[in-house]
Amino acid sequence: MRVVVTGMGVVSPIGTSVEQFWNAAVNGVNGIDKVQSFDVSGSNSKIAGEVKQFDPSSFLSAKYIDQTDRFTQLALHAAQQAVEDAGGLEQHYSPQRLAVVMGSGMGGFATFESSAFRKFQNRSIPPFTVPRIMANSAGAWIATKYGFKGVNLTCSTACSSGANAIGMGLELLRSGKADAVIVGGSEACVLPLTMTGFDALHALSTGFNDQPQQASRPFAKGRDGFVMGEGAAILVLEKETAAEHRGANIYAYLAGYGCACDATHIVAPDMDGQVTAMQTALQDANVALDQVDYINAHATSTPLGDVIETRAIKHLFMEHAYKLSISATKSMIGHSIGASAAIGAIAAIQTLRTQTIHPTINLAEADPDCDLDYTANHAVQKKVNTALCNAFGFGGNDVSIVFTNY
């Protein structure tokens, strides 16, 4: 039994539809700017990839807005695109067979921060503070809005949350627990406390506050940390035969999923776990190493992370590592934590559909320890049959997913 992707939706700093996002990505559009949503005068990192001019009232009632955090609103927007794109899910499947699996690293932290601030001032807090914060609220609201009554799960493995959610959706279909699954990730943590928290670990870029467009520079010389981002991306997964039978548009196969834990350090990356995730994903997809044409890298632009990922790719793929193409979506949109791999998955699928690899921007001069083909600065046309998407999170949570051409 094979699983296919039949619907997609994305909300990102460079586009709020798949077409807009992909057009921007191929053209290397930069979504990083000075933070606009709060006063950064007390923060070391003053830049981010924000989804600007996002107006939840354009698609949600006032009551929905009161009861939801921004990360849920971003997820609902992406879900609306994906469900409409897939079309006919409710007509072809019973509600109890329609599942939702979402990923988020932080959940409703915008609400957490604002309600905590109010509480410390002895002011009352919004009554929906808890259901807005809880990490499963995005998945619960998607189910509620569309009446999807099947399995409803939320995965929180930091920066790999979205990738695990996609993999969990694959397993639900394979095990027969659902007929269609809405999967993806969502994150909205361009926030003062959250950014200060990442900065306290020296994880964020702080040296490019005056040149925000140069700050997110995976694999490049002089990179000094990741740039906070936000967004959401959703895929609709179905069994191939059922999708074909109902005449759905099929974008790609979701062919494999691999998941591993470094089990070494809570935040520092480790090559072994990354190798295991990629290897098991490819075994799961029954794809040979030399069949991989493209890797949508995790590549956050931290000094250590990009080198470790490069080493992991070289260790696993050996000489083929120098033949395959790699690119870093985060070079344009920053790191949207639990949403990032779901956005990367959309990029990987679009690569298969268009046979175009989007660039890694800000890569004028590569770090000598990063010596693979990262598709520097300009998009490349190439025959791509198999794409791997990497996501490596705090906690040593490593995930790879494999998409192949339909």
Partner 1 sequence: MDITNLEKQVLEFIASKAENIDISKITTSSQFSELGFDSMDTIQLLFDAEEKFDINFDSDAVKNFRNVGDIIEYIKNHPPVAS
Active site residues: 159, 298, 335
- The CA distance from 31 to 47, in Å, is 10
Name the nearest CA neighbour of 151 among 140, 135, 162.
140
Tell me whether residue 61 or residue 286 sits nearer to partner 1 (CB atom).
Answer: 61
Among 1, 42, 62, 175, binds partner 1 (CB under 8 A): 62
**Among 66, 84, 210, 371, contact with partner 1 (rule: CB under 8 A):** 66
Considering beta carbons, is residue 1 or 62 the nearer one to partner 1?
62
CA angle 323, 328, 329 (to 5 degrees): 135
Which of 88, 95, 127, 222 is in the footprint of partner 1 by CB under 8 A?
A: 127
Q: Which stretch binds partner 1 (CB under 8 A): 24-32, 61-69, 311-319, 341-349?
A: 61-69
Length of the chain (residues): 406
DSSP state of 359: P
Closest CA to 287 of 260, 254, 242: 254
Q: Which is nearer to partner 1, 137 or 404 (CB)?
A: 137
Per CB under 8 A, the list member of 53, 58, 124, 175 interacting with partner 1 is 124
Residues 2-41, one symbol each (x = binds partner 1 by CB under 8 A, - = not), give ----------------------------------------
Q: Based on the shown chain and the rule CB under 8 A, indicate whether residue 57 belongs to the binding site for partner 1.
A: no
1 near partner 1, rule: CB under 8 A: no
Cα–Cα dist 154/166, whole Å: 11
* Span interacting with partner 1, options 19-27, 121-129, 183-191, 286-294, rule CB under 8 A: 121-129
With binding defined as CB under 8 A, does residue 126 bind partner 1?
yes
Chain centre to alpha carbon of residue 101 = 14
What are the b/e assignments for 92-116, b being 16+ CB within 10 Å? bbeeebbbbbbbbbbbbbbbbbbbe
Q: Which of 67, 213, 356, 385 is the binder for partner 1 (CB under 8 A)?
A: 67
CA nearest 342: which of 260, 250, 235? 235
Question: Least Å distance between CB 127 and partner 1?
Answer: 4
383 lines the binding site for partner 1 (CB under 8 A):
no
Q: Minimum Å distance from CB 61 to partner 1?
A: 7
Classify burial at 348, counting beta carbons within 10 Å of its beta carbon; exposed 0-12, middle 13-18, buried 19 or more: buried
Cα separation, 226 vs 236, in Å, equals: 29
Name the nearest CA neighbour of 108 among 124, 83, 78, 128.
128
Q: With respect to partner 1, which residue has the nearer C-beta, 111 or 276?
A: 111
Count Cβ atoms within 10 A of the Cβ of residue 123 and give its class: 0-12 exposed, 13-18 middle, 19 or more buried.
exposed
Stretch that binds partner 1, among 55-63, 196-204, 258-266, 357-365 (CB under 8 A): 55-63
How many chain residues are in contact with partner 1, going by CB under 8 A? Answer: 10
Closest to partner 1 by CB, 57 or 264: 57
Q: Does 120 bind partner 1 (CB under 8 A)?
A: no
**Helix%, strand%, coil% for the chain, nearest 5:** 40, 20, 40
Among 17, 90, 113, 128, indicate the residue that binds partner 1 (CB under 8 A): 128
Nearest-approach distance from CB 63 to partner 1, in angstroms: 7
Q: Are 233 and 38 in contact (CB under 8 A)?
A: no
Q: Please, are residues 107 and 71 in contact by the beta-carbon 8 Å criterion? A: yes
CB nearer to partner 1: give 68 or 205: 68
**How far is C-alpha 141 from the chain's CA centre?**
19
Q: Which residues contact 192 (CB under 8 A, 6 or more apart)?
A: 38, 39, 40, 42, 43, 113
- Report, in Å, the least distance between residue 126 CB and partner 1: 6
For the CB of residue 128, give the shortest distance to partner 1 in the complex, in Å.
6
Closest CB to partner 1 among 127 and 247?
127
Nearest residue (CB) to partner 1, 68 versus 386: 68
> Which residues bind to partner 1, rule: CB under 8 A?
61-63, 66-67, 123-124, 126-128
